[in-house]
Chain A
Amino acid sequence: MIAGRSRKARILGSIGLYTAVAAYVIFALFPLFWTLKISVTPQSLLYSEGITMWPSSATWENYKTVLRATDFPRYFLNSVIVSVVTAVLVTIIASAAGYALSRFSFRGKTTVAVILLLTQTFPLVMVIPPIYRIMGELGLTNSLTGLIIIYTAFNIAFATFLMQSFFDGIPKDLEEAAMIDGCSRSQALRRVIIPLTLPGMGATLGFVFTAAWSELLFALMLISSDSQKTFAVGLLTFIGKFAVDWGQMMAASVLALIPACLFFGFLQRYLVTGLTAGAVKG
């Protein structure tokens, strides 16, 4: 009798578990699925079929138009340039800073860590008015260089903590052993530490790339010429101009999603380290 009840409870429990899991999966996927669905719906069926789960005939036409007849390939390239350069710069600078915080004890170390932590929690809207003006005076509006400088600075603190945690994960004995065997500190760094932190550097690259790829407000404020627009800015101005072409808009969105998803797949392993190091990063 008791065994029977507990079995029933267990079945009910696992039904509850799978229902909850299914609800979360649907909530996470549905918006993306819908964007994909509209992007392959022919313009003619968009209004006639109403709200359906899948159009009666799908098409790649919207993607072809976006790739051939609009400026999106240019925007895509600009975003790739900005994100890749930012990610590389941040990873180099943050690796150096993270190495210093992990391997040296020196006066002022706590102060440096606190300052980094403060800039990390710092609301970026604070610097919107001054940056808009300063960049204008320096002639860095409408330039990808301006964006790269800003994004690099915004991501440094988070990436430094991330790199520090990766360096902390490598036992000090390893490089000490190498140094006893006659390596200098820089040789130990090059032959022992860097090869072991390469995966960590890869993760940092990925996180910074994703952050730079997603940034909208500063890009929207600083870039107005068509040739320098990033994908986010291009998409928003596209909406302003051709608000009716739903299919093309969503096809462009799906294209913008691809790099982010690729990096996400690669970053899965590092999500916990990354999000705890940069507890404030989106």
Chain B
Amino acid sequence: MAMQSTAAMTPQQERKASSKRRFSAAFEPWLYLSPALVLLLVVLVVPLIFGVSYSFRKFSAFKSEYVGLAQYKALLSDPVLGQALMNTLWWTVASLFLQFFLGLGLALLLDRPFFGKKVVQAIVFLPWAVPSFLSGLTWAWLFNPIVGPLPHWLFALGLKSEPTNILSDPATAMWGPIIANVWFGVPFFAITLLAALKSIPSELHEAAAIDGANPWQRFIKVTLPFLAPTIAITVMLRTIWIATFADLIYVMTEGGPAGSTNTVATYIYVSAFKTLDKGYASAVAVLLLALLILYAVVLIRIRRSLVRYS
């Protein structure tokens, strides 16, 4: 072995060395990737397969039995799930809409020069770093009439007849987690959209201004088309993320009162963890995954047809 490195190699040795090199070149990247892939396989893919198989079983204290599609049949006649699906839709659409437009507004502001911009930027992005359980708790406290100012302010403005907690009223409870989610999520949209805004060549704006376009026309004709790809991808990923985000709701209301803030994600969590019904929770999870895949496919189709059209 020591010979190899010192003197000239025989052709045989050389062939051997080069095939070794080729083998290691093909092998090397997989060596680096393997810890990541093994971990993902063991902690995400295997449990996912287990989860799907759980959805065909009924679990009781010490045993489980195969029940075929019985869990899925139960889904169809579950009124709690029906309400949770509607709540998920409302929670996702309202959070996404407000996060997006407030985030876009913030990105447009931060794209202009003004005094103290660096400090402002650090402050307005800070909610992103606040752990989600703390965001939830902080907002729950703000809505609490004992320690929080919001009920009293809403009362003073005449928006509420009494300074009570909006989280304990089924008609208004969902607004609590939605507002907390908007607070927490605006920086995400602002940061990604700001990055996209910075990539727009400034000559384009100047040219449009010379042509007599007013700021609104410039926004519609120049800025928006440039932002469109970023908007499409972030909105899609964010929808999936918000629809399955259970922390804030769990911390603020645990799905209550009277199931008025129960989303599919909190329903899965509570049935798996609190009521220990893993089979049913898995069936609900499979349904959620199917709906999200459907959503992604439809959105990608729409995007493709729009691209072809233009």
Contacts and interface: CB of A to CB of B under 8 A. Distances in A.
A276 interface: yes
Interface in B1-52: 25-26, 28-33, 35-37, 39-40, 42-45, 47-48, 50-51
A104 interface: yes
B39 A93 contact: yes
Given A20-B109, A134-B47, A236 B183 contact: no
B174 interface: no
A236 B133 contact: yes
A128 B269 CA distance: 7
Q: Which residue of A46, A256, A263 has the most chain B CB atoms within 10 A of its CB atom?
A: A256
B126 A264 contact: yes
B129 A25 contact: no
A123 B250 CA distance: 16
Contacts of B47: 127, 130-131, 134
B292 interface: yes
B35 A93 contact: yes
B130 A153 contact: no
Contact of A126 (B105, B129, B148, B289): B289
B175 interface: no
Interface string A127-145: 1111111100000000000
Contacts of A156: 36, 39-40
B35 A97 contact: yes
Nearest to A159: B36
Interface residues of A, number: 86
Nearest to A282: B132
Residue in B40, B195, B240, B273 with the greatest tally of chain A CB atoms within 10 Å: B40
Interface in A41-75: 46-47, 51
Interface stretch (A174-182, A195-203, A213-221): A213-221
A260 interface: yes
B208 interface: no
A132 B133 contact: no
Nearest to A108: B30
A93 B265 CA distance: 30
A157 interface: yes
Contact of B114 (A17, A133, A210): A17
B288 A123 contact: yes
Contact of B51 (A28, A130, A154): A130
A193 interface: no
A264 B129 contact: yes
A149 B188 CA distance: 27
A125 to B, nearest CB: 5
Nearest to A99: B32
Interface in B138-182: 138-139, 141-142, 146-149, 152
Contacts of A214: 131-133
B240 A34 contact: no
A253 B134 contact: yes
B43 A153 contact: yes
A269 to B, nearest CB: 11
Interface of A is mostly: helix
B123 A28 contact: yes
Interface stretch (B76-84, B241-249, B298-306): B241-249
Contacts of A126: 48, 51, 285-286, 288-289
B213 interface: no
Contacts of B94: none
B223 interface: no
A116 B39 CA distance: 12
A128 B109 contact: no
Nearest to B39: A153
A221 B247 CA distance: 12
A123 B292 contact: yes
B201 to A, nearest CB: 18
B101 to A, nearest CB: 13
A24 B149 contact: no
B48 A25 contact: no
B126 A271 contact: no
25 contacts: A27-B183, A31-B138, A34-B141, A34-B149, A38-B141, A93-B39, A100-B31, A123-B292, A126-B48, A130-B54, A133-B278, A134-B47, A154-B43, A156-B39, A157-B40, A213-B131, A239-B137, A246-B146, A249-B137, A250-B141, A253-B137, A264-B128, A271-B125, A271-B128, A275-B191
| 10 closest Cβ pairs, A-B complex | A153-B43, A264-B129, A214-B131, A123-B244, A100-B32, A104-B29, A100-B29, A130-B47, A130-B50, A97-B36
